[in-house]
Amino acid sequence: MKILIDADGCPVVDITVNLGRKYNINTIIMCDTSHIINKVGVDTVVLSKGSDSVDFALVNKVNKGDIVVTQDYGLAAMVLSKGGYPINQNGMIYSNENIDQLLFTRHLSKKIRNSGQRTKGPKKRTKDDDIKFEKNLISLIEKLIY
């Protein structure tokens, strides 16, 4: 098992890296050239800027049982299809039971924006979001290793 982080714009890199160290799980940060992130003792893969370049490289590294931190529903769907466990920055664990609805909602929002209307953006991140993420990532790790 390893943890892969879709690190472009990810607010929980440090939390994830610290938990990877605590549980002795190989953690890999993946980002494009506009978000170079270096953490001691963690592999960082820097990819060229481009539409979904990090997503495609990341999904090619995922094996069954790996954890992936991402806020991208499309990437989460691909991770699920490979037997991985995607979790978002707020601690929501993507599953086969919720991914279709999330992808459909994303599709509807895009249609609304393409028609010139506006949609609500995400609410401002809070300390509670970090706490929920950490708690749920710990639960996921412990479920997989014990």
DSSP string across 26-58: EEEEEEETTS----TTSEEEEE-SSTTHHHHHH
Domain range holding 28?
Answer: 2-145
The domain total for the chain is: 1
Dihedral (CA of 9, 128, 94, 116) sign: negative
What pTM, to 2 d.p., does this model score?
0.89
- Angle at CA of residue 81, ends 79 and 82, nearest 5°: 65
CB 103 within 8 A of CB 81: no
Q: Tell me the pLDDT tens digit for each residue of 11-24.
A: 999 999 999 999 99
Give mean pLDDT, residues 90-100.
91
Residue 116 in this model has a pLDDT that exceeds 80: yes
CATH code, domain with 30: 3.40.50
Higher-pLDDT residue of 30, 53: 30
